[in-house]
A and B are shown apart, each in its own frame.
Chain A
Amino acid sequence: MAQIFHRSTNTISRVSIYAAVFIAAGLAWVLMALDRSPYTTRQGIVLGQPVPFSHEHHVSGLGIDCRYCHTSVETSWFAGMPPTATCMNCHKLIWKDSDMLEPVRASLREGRPIVWTRVHDLPDFVYFDHSIHVAKGIGCASCHGRVDEMPLMRQSAPLQMEWCLDCHRHPERRVRPRDQVFDLAWQPVDQATLGARLVREYGIRSARDLTSCSTCHR
């Protein structure tokens, strides 16, 4: 009987068997990476907006407090989006004929709301409440990042469940004094002791409470 295969096939066949294992593992890894990649989470991606609003300019530049625009952040699950009127409070005086702001003026003129693209968008089956997080001393920056350094708004955290869980399991790592909540630049001196103390003071519930499903899902 003549040989069917060439000598080289010995090596090839053996190598390919082991290769297969690594290829499979590799694929799995790629999938998982993709699932956590900015492509999926939109982390750090700047989305198109009708008006190129700069948090950097308004917050660090002009020193406007978060609550000036996001009025209901302390009272409602929804932080609140400023109505056109709020913008115009200032912009009827300054930059009042810049083309950039035309959509805003138009909105007020025609009574048509400005349609922004959501940057931080949780799935509809997740019930996140701004007011309680603020009340328990979770700073804006903890989730939204250094907004004061963002010329254009972008999502800074992955906003995926494992990320939420991380904080619900270890609130002491994120909690800050209530009066520092809106200070985006605030840095802890000794978070370990501070966190432990604040968790006690603010009566932040145990991880077992905070990781119960119905805490966020209903």
Chain B
Amino acid sequence: MSHEKANSLESARARLAGTRGREFWRSLEELAGDPSFQEVLEREFPAGASEWGEGLDRRRFLQLAAASLAFAGLSACTRQPLESIVPYVRQPEEIVPGRPRLFATAMTLGGYASGLLVESHEGRPTKIEGNPEHPATQGATDVFAQALILGLYDPDRSQLVLEAGEISTWARFIARMSAALPALQANGGAGIRILTGTVTSPTLGEQIRALRTRFPKMGWVQYEPVSRDGARLGARLAFGVPVETRYDFAKADVVVSLDADFLVEGPASVRYARNFAANRRVRVGHERMIRLYAVESTPTATASLADHRLGVPPSEVPFLVWALAAEIGVTGVELPKALPEERARFIREAAADLQRNSGHGIVIPGDYAPAEVHVLAHAINERLGNVGTTVLRTDPVEVEPVDQVASLSTLVDDMRAGRVDLLAIVGENPVFDAPADLEFKEALLKVPLRLHLALEEDETSQYCHWHLPEAHPLEAWSDARAYDGTVTVMQPLIEPLYGGRSAHEFLSVFLDDPPRRGLEILREHWRLMAGREDFETLWRQSLHDGFVVGSVFGPRKFALRKPAAAEAVSAIRAAARDATAAAATAGGAPTDRFEIVFRPDPTIHDGRFANNGWLQELPKPLSKMTWDNAAYLAPAAARRLGVASGDLVAIEAGGRAIEAPAWILPGHPDGAVTVHFGYGRTACGRVGKGTGFDAYPLRSSAAMWSHPGGTIFKIPGRRDLACTQEHFAMEGRDLVRVGTIARFQKDPEFARKMEEAPGRDLNLYPGFNYEGHAWGVSIDLSVCTGCNACVVACVAENNIPVVGKDQVRRGREMHWLRVDRYYEGDSESPDAHMQPVMCMQCEQAPCEVVCPVGATSHSSEGLNDMVYNRCVGTRYCSNNCPYKVRRFNFLQYSDEKTPVLKLGRNPDVTVRSRGVMEKCTYCVQRINAARIAAEKEDRPIRDGEIKTACQQACPTQAIVFGDINDAQSRVARLKAEPANYGLMEHLNTRPRTTYLAKLRNPNPDLEPEKT
């Protein structure tokens, strides 16, 4: 049967080959008429089964029958229940009841800090924004920062100190430790190991230094599953010393990305995205674009903006970099032989382009690329003279850069050898995410005393004597460095909800007697840093700003080791030789042999966000899948294996195997399969349990980010995946309008001409005219990376409920703002286009006309108001909405039972109940707040004063909100751009949200302009 499926895909291939030019192809399987796709389509027919809930007995039957009759007697008279009002006993000076306040703080991911502003209502943090003053991140945020709030209120977070599974207390723990420490101290703490993640926090570093003075022989291990070992090692090999490299895309004209998702992932991504976008935006009068070449081993969101993309299996990447280095003329490197022409040409042109723009180019290697790639990248940038302008090298940001895999494996060896008496694991979950070959768990069990400080009771806590609840980043005092070295302050917004303590306070148990609280520890260390005199001013200033002014690392000169490049090349040769040797010995048909690419999950990262409903329900940027991970395959590969999306496959590598549902991802390089970490958690909260599969078992300390020789074969069974967008073709409709900059210069209005929009006079009725404000939004498709930050921001701002996998599969996700993704071109390497779609606030809204109760109507400023408490739920408005941006509460979605979740809700937005329609309102609560503020000061609302949640979060500033009646406003000027067009404008809906056509800047030598 796999044969016929293969054939059907074959025919699809054939038909695809026929299409060319600007023709859009439809989602693969459907084109192939693949039966399994029909299955996906006919979503489980007897869906009702799940609705039965508790079993049906006589009483329930009568109860229901009675309810239906009682309903008949419902009367119009509704009387509000009495509510009480509870004032403070002593009101804090600075608090004005009802007025939200903003605090500057930060979160860390992979050790690196990003500056945040947190909105707090009467002491309850409700919304997170980027800290616009922060020199590193400049006010942009990623999905993780936006979702941090939900993590804070997560009712499944660990709430108890556990001693051997029994409930205990911090006091008890402290007592036990002070009892145990002297013994350990005797031999200089040789038996003590502390395992942390990557540490950039100066204070934490200081504490560890202090620990080392107290326990000279103790060991400090840094390990987290997603870290930048390649970069670290690369730097060492290239310079002999640890070096941090950062890039300035604002000055760049040509970028070559080597397996780097630099716009969406990594500590600096939001800043890179901002500068990159600033350099890619095209406006009349400013018509130059940065050009991006992307070489990648798995499709990335970044590459959806690439002008030229080359997908190759991971083992090929080093060769391409090698070739690039050779083309650039890096000394000691000559061209590798036997490079396929298509790839060679790509590299040649990229190299030429780089050389044309020497000093204004960037060659950026991915964090997960092997060290050799980093070495060569360093050499190339050096050779091109980019260093100092676009490529900046500084001292390492980490307190102590180490090869984390190496340091973890030494720890494991020590544990096995019984050299470890006490292991304190701080905030990490190695039992779940350590490389499988180390068999961390087994080693761990050999340690006499195991402590675990973590946010949740996870896989590791189960095997530790003590589990200690960690304080959430928003609950604790701390500091950390941003990717550029800026020292960033983290201050608590709320007392620990569940009695958690920070890493500082935890370490303090071993340092101080009695242990000190975070604030004290922090201030103490800072006093040392600052030097006595101006400490208080520095402290206040930094708390207010959220960072220490001028703590950014200045670029420094580092001498590149002459032989480094050559060594890297020979290393690549060696690696290739080993791989071929291994392949020769390895079993399995060569057709089943695949390279395996490992990546952190785009939404739940390495698994630490597995219990975050917002992130679980967030569609993955490329597959639009929610609540699951999958084995991403190239269409061709899937055809060979005879699998369709959802079919189970077994993936085997290094003697370990996992089962995973396959997912056909257009543009994925053939011969490789991508699996994402983070799913398959066995010990975590209610949200994350039972989602996806665990990919860590395939990972070995030798092959952290890709495995050269895995095998895949189809096994019986399917897994139903909840995907929010099942159709990826535009059907020849001009939804995302794409053009090259050349075309734009020839005909700036090309996008508008694609589909005629009726003139404003073409109307049966006289239209309304909007004096005063007229709100509108402009979205620049040229810079949208589809990173989803806007989506989570919207969820957080507007109390949007999580509905769960089952409801998503029924097509009932609630996101007001979604990012549509379309494909164009050949299925093996198509162009991907991202398009954020929220309510268009049509001036002639089809939804309003059909609402029988006037629950949705137009405000005097042209907003398409939605009045939840008037809605009766006919869903007619949604049926009649051409953009399908309306969302309906088919069941009671918003959680009214869990009290702690109520704390996190935005008090300025109604929490919708069952049976009502909802949708994007342009964050009308923010509009009203700004208007009230302005009117109280008798002044007009300033342009830019109101930012919608999505706009505020957007790293590339692709979304701009404002008053289109004010000709000077940013949005008005954007809408005046020739590339501006409205979605489905021919329906005469007059959308207030419009788009700027997506412009590309291909290298004419690689892609001659079509005519």
Contact = CB atoms under 8 A, between A and B. Distances in A.
* Chains A and B directly touch (beta carbon < 8 Å): yes
B97 A121 contact: no
Interface in B322-353: none
B77 A31 contact: yes
Given A117-B84, A131-B936, A135-B935, A218 B98 contact: no
Nearest to B863: A214
Given A77-B98, A111-B89, A123-B80, A213 B932 contact: no
B707 to A, nearest CB: 51
Interface string B919-939: 001001101100010011010
Given A203-B938, A214-B928, 12 more contacts: A31-B75, A77-B98, A85-B90, A113-B86, A114-B87, A117-B82, A117-B83, A118-B85, A125-B869, A125-B910, A217-B868, A218-B925
Nearest to A32: B76
Interface stretch (A1-9, A33-41, A140-148, A192-200): A33-41
Interface in B770-828: 772
B807 to A, nearest CB: 24
B82 A81 contact: no
Interface in B60-77: 75-77
Contact of B90 (A39, A47, A83, A132): A83
B79 interface: yes
A85 B865 contact: no
Contact of A118 (B79, B84, B97, B870): B84
A115 B9 CA distance: 69
B99 interface: yes
B89 A214 contact: no
Q: Which of B908, B911, B936 has the most CB of A within 10 A?
A: B936
B371 to A, nearest CB: 53
Interface string B864-903: 0101111000000000000000000000000000000000
Interface string A175-203: 00000000000000000000000000001
Q: Which of B80, B83, B927 has the most CB of A within 10 A?
A: B80
B715 interface: no
Interface in B710-768: none
A163 interface: no
Contact of B936 (A111, A121, A132): A132
B89 A84 contact: yes
A159 to B, nearest CB: 10
A108 B72 CA distance: 51
Nearest to A159: B80
Nearest 8 pairs of A and B residues by beta carbon: A78-B98, A81-B87, A212-B859, A76-B98, A83-B88, A213-B865, A83-B91, A125-B869
A52 interface: no
B926 to A, nearest CB: 10
B76 A31 contact: yes
Nearest to B122: A78
B96 interface: yes
B82 A76 contact: no
Given A84-B87, A118-B85, A40 B928 contact: no
B909 interface: yes
B957 interface: no
Contacts of B911: 124
Interface string A47-73: 100000000000000000000000110
Contacts of B865: 212-214, 217
Interface in A105-120: 107-108, 111-118
Nearest to A111: B89
B94 to A, nearest CB: 12
B98 A214 contact: no
B85 A116 contact: yes
A108 B857 CA distance: 49
28 contacts: A31-B76, A35-B77, A40-B77, A40-B79, A72-B97, A72-B99, A76-B99, A77-B98, A81-B97, A84-B88, A84-B89, A84-B90, A86-B91, A108-B89, A113-B87, A113-B88, A116-B86, A117-B85, A118-B84, A121-B80, A124-B910, A125-B868, A131-B936, A212-B863, A212-B865, A213-B859, A214-B865, A215-B928
Nearest to B868: A125
Interface in B830-865: 857-861, 863, 865
Q: Binding site of A, secondary structure by majority: helix, strand, loop or mixed? A: loop
A76 B97 contact: yes
Contacts of A213: 857, 859, 865, 867, 870
A132 B935 contact: yes
B77 A83 contact: no
B91 A135 contact: no
Interface residues of B, number: 45
Nearest to B86: A113
Q: Which of B83, B928, B938 has the most CB of A within 10 A?
A: B928
B860 A218 contact: no
A208 interface: yes
Contacts of B77: 31, 34-35, 40
Q: Binding site of B, secondary structure by majority: helix, strand, loop or mixed? A: loop
Contact of B928 (A31, A84, A116, A218): A218
Q: Which of B89, B909, B932 has the most CB of A within 10 A?
A: B89
A78 B89 contact: no
A116 B867 contact: no
Q: Which of B98, B772, B909, B938 has the most CB of A within 10 A?
A: B98
A214 B773 CA distance: 14
Contacts of A39: 79
A114 to B, nearest CB: 7
A158 interface: no
A81 B772 CA distance: 36
A217 B76 CA distance: 21
A214 B910 contact: no
B46 to A, nearest CB: 37
A123 B909 CA distance: 13
A16 interface: no
Contacts of B935: 132, 135-136, 203
Given A78-B98, A135-B936, A213-B867, A218 B908 contact: yes
Nearest to B91: A83
Interface string B379-399: 000000000000000000000
Contacts of A40: 77-79
Contacts of B910: 124-125, 217-218
Contacts of B76: 31, 35
A214 B85 contact: no
B99 A107 contact: no
Nearest to A75: B96
B88 to A, nearest CB: 4
Contact of A113 (B89, B772, B908, B928): B89
A112 B932 contact: no
Nearest to A209: B860
Contact of B96 (A76, A214, A218): A76
A43 to B, nearest CB: 12
Contacts of A34: 77
A111 B87 CA distance: 11
Q: Which of B87, B90, B861, B935 has the most CB of A within 10 A?
A: B87
Contact of A127 (B82, B928, B938): B928
A80 B97 contact: yes
Contacts of A107: 89
B908 to A, nearest CB: 7
Contact of A132 (B867, B868, B932): B932
A151 interface: no
A113 B89 CA distance: 5
B859 A214 contact: yes
Contacts of B924: 214, 218
A116 B88 CA distance: 12
Contacts of B79: 39-40
A107 to B, nearest CB: 6
A81 B88 CA distance: 8
B82 A47 contact: yes
Interface in A9-45: 31, 34-35, 39-40, 42
A68 to B, nearest CB: 13
